[in-house]
Amino acid sequence: MAFFIHKKEKYIVQKIGQHVSAVVEAVYLVCDALDLIVEGRKEECMELTKRVHKKEHEADIIQREIDTEMFGGAFMPSIRELLFIAVDTVDKVANRAEKLGDFLTLIEPDIPEEIRDDVREMGELTRRCADMMKRAMLNLFEDMQEVHKDTVMIEEYEAKVDKVAWKVLERVFKELEIEKFSHRMMLREMIIHLSSISNKMEDASDRLEIIALRLRF
């Protein structure tokens, strides 16, 4: 009997892989959109943010499929609950990416020359963080002992993003000559939206680590 359920679990693992891939793609797309806005290519940025929306929606649909299958009795109950929460937290990463995309499309912020490299660096670190999140999620089903290493890496990237974000905010408010205060606030908001993506990925990594730890004896 358990072998029939095994099939269901295989299907869910496949869906979880698709879900995390869609989320990571959404993160990549929004980071690419950010690069475009840094370069002042606002039209192209808008096109990419539309694709972020699509990816986020795609991730939502997959998540619903996963939930339906999981409530049908796949996995051991304790793992089922933790996986459900982990997938939900990963899904929230796509929501954060979508929010940043919306911000870039609606506000179309002008990025001062002095912080462009830092913003690009934040985007790059966020991409790497997303790659690690995907690896950690897949390793739950391939090599659980690697999950801890992956989550440590996610934490490191998240810390780096926070560090650069702090540096950028300090420059925006203390060093740069920006005429309007509202412009400073807009930049601040953009940075907060961007760093919230890696913060959410860190939350997801905590969930994944709990699952891996749960299976130790």
Partner 1 sequence: MFRLLSGVYLGWGLGANDAANVFGTAVATRVVPYRVAVVLTSVFVLIGSVMQGSRGMYTVGALADMDVNTAFIASLSAAITINVLTFLAIPVSTSQAIVGAILAVGLTGSGVQLGVLVKVLVSWVASPLAAAAISFLLYRALGSLIEARIRSVRIWSTIMKTGFYLAGIYGAYALGANNVANTTAVFFKAGLVSPAQAALIGGLAIGLGVLTYSKRVMYTVGRRITRMSEFAGLIAILGQDITVHFFSWVGVPVSTSQAIVGAVMGVGLVKSSRAVDFRIIGRIVIGWLVTPLAALVIAYGMLRVYGILFLSPV
Is 68 a binding residue for partner 1 by CB under 8 A? The answer is: no
CB of 6 to partner 1, least distance (A): 5
Three-state secondary structure string covering the chain: CHHHHHHHHHHHHHHHHHHHHHHHHHHHHHHHHHHHHHCCCHHHHHHHHHHHHHHHHHHHHHHHHHHHHHHCCCCCHHHHHHHHHHHHHHHHHHHHHHHHHHHHHHHCCCCCHHHHHHHHHHHHHHHHHHHHHHHHHHHHHHCHHHHHHHHHHHHHHHHHHHHHHHHHHHHHHHHCCCCCHHHHHHHHHHHHHHHHHHHHHHHHHHHHHHHHHHCCC
CB of 71 to partner 1, least distance (A): 11
CB of 12 to partner 1, least distance (A): 8
Tell which one of 140, 154, 164, 191 touches partner 1 (CB under 8 A): 140
Is 181 a binding residue for partner 1 by CB under 8 A? The answer is: no
**Residues 1-40: x/- map of binding to partner 1 (CB under 8 A)?**
xxx-xx--xx--x---------------------------
Segment interacting with partner 1, rule: CB under 8 A, options 27-35, 50-58, 76-84, 195-203: 76-84
Is 213 a binding residue for partner 1 by CB under 8 A? The answer is: no
Spatial contact of 140 and 208, defined as CB atoms under 8 Å apart: yes
The count of chain residues that interact with partner 1, using the rule CB under 8 A, is 28
Tell which one of 63, 66, 83, 153 touches partner 1 (CB under 8 A): 83
Give which of 130, 133, 108, 140 is closest to 34, Cα–Cα: 108
CB of 211 to partner 1, least distance (A): 6
Give which of 115, 94, 103, 74 is closest to 21, Cα–Cα: 94
Segment interacting with partner 1, rule: CB under 8 A, options 73-81, 91-99, 102-110, 111-119: 73-81
CB of 10 to partner 1, least distance (A): 7
Q: Which is nearer to partner 1, 10 or 50 (CB)?
A: 10
Interface residues toward partner 1, by CB under 8 A: 1-3, 5-6, 9-10, 13, 73-79, 83, 140-145, 211-212, 214-217
